[in-house]
Structure 1
Amino acid sequence: MNRVWLPVVAVQGLWLRSTLRLASAPGGGVSGTVPGPAAEPLRLAVLGDSTAAGCGVTGDEEAFAASLAREVAARAGRPVAWQAVGQFGATSRRIRFRLVPRLDDDLDLVVLLAGANDVLAGRGPDLWREDLTGILAGLADRAHRVAIAGIPPFIRFPAIPATLARHLGERAAALDAVTREVCRQSARTTTFLEQPAGTPPADFFSTDRFHPSTHGYRLWAQDVAAQLIPDQPAP
């Protein structure tokens, strides 16, 4: 970003901190099971920040983890037992040392939702790489596969002023570049999940204009499930 805009970024950052009222109370459930044909359930965990915890919604079945479990069950044709371990404001450092140990063992898939708080806290690519590799090391004995979501595009957040959003987006892109590199190095067990393209619908965000709504989490879950289990081409 051009340095001439940095004073604007600073002012908008101060304004945002003084005015933003986030939905900090987790609204999603912490575990559940999606029924399916008689088979061994696929064991799924969603790990990360406030989006993993379900901030922005109020019902256990409305948040990302439960929505993703339903989408995965439908695509895989088998039951899914899911767990959500998330915390409002968690950076990758907190996830690495505080949240990973709370996960169950012998998981088929862990989806990591992280990075936004690292960007907001000014943590750069080197710290992100250190903690991301630490998270993956901690998951190595717990999960067969890990999928890491790209950082949500700040420019689409209605609560964030445009100039500040562009600045945050540039910092997020630097962290995402690290994530892609880390995923390429362990491509057999780790997948990078691209964020949905295009402009989200008007009802994608919750009332705090920062976290997803019920509809937003559902759309996000559909996109992630489609990347994890793509549609099979017609014969």
Structure 2
Amino acid sequence: VVQNASGEYIIWVDGDMILPKDHVQLQVKFMDENPKVGIGKAKYAIFSKENVVALLEDVPFIILGLQNYPQALKLAGTGGSIYRTNAVRQVGSFDDRLTGVGEDIDVAYRIMLNNWAIERSPASFFELRENSWRDLWKKYVWYGYGNFWVYRKNKEIFKLYKMIPPASLIAGLLYSFPAYKLTGKKIVFLLPVHFIFKSVAWSYGFIKAYFRCNSIKNRLLGNKNEAPKSK
């Protein structure tokens, strides 16, 4: 995509996203007005208030946007983001060795290190969330598996201690009260459980990738150490 892009910006749209009519206009205007910004991340908006799993997944992202959380501390993925084409090309584009998940975080990190700002834009978007615990589990196992390879490449991108269940419990508790203030729904006090659930799934995927990596290493070492066959 980046190699073939002829415009100044690239707006990323995932298959599970819904864009308001003014999304593109607001994104482009924001980048035009902020020439030092390499990535502009739109704000999440609540799409589902009825399904418990989807609501619990949505709310923390909404709160981050409302708190104007420094986007550089939580790297922007491609979904809901606008990238300055030149900023991506300057860092060598996406790493083709990272597939499935995490390649967007990797390139965002390199863009940030190259002195481009990553900021929240005034645009918004909706994301269709998983409606079952089973689907949420599969999603975060996939995230954990992909993030292992990103972490293996650069351990500065995220801190592992923040991904373990005890840290997730604390994060869930901290989100619960602003979440209740935002939604008025008592169900959001399940956020600690929700966070732990995702953390366990993520950790399982991460560990699975770790053993996969070691298996590949051992196989390669075995091939190198294999005695040459006699003729």
Does the pair score TM above 0.5?
A: no
Q: Looking at CA atoms only, which structure, 1 or 2, has the larger radius of gyration?
A: 2
TM-score between both structures, scaled by the size of structure 1: 0.30
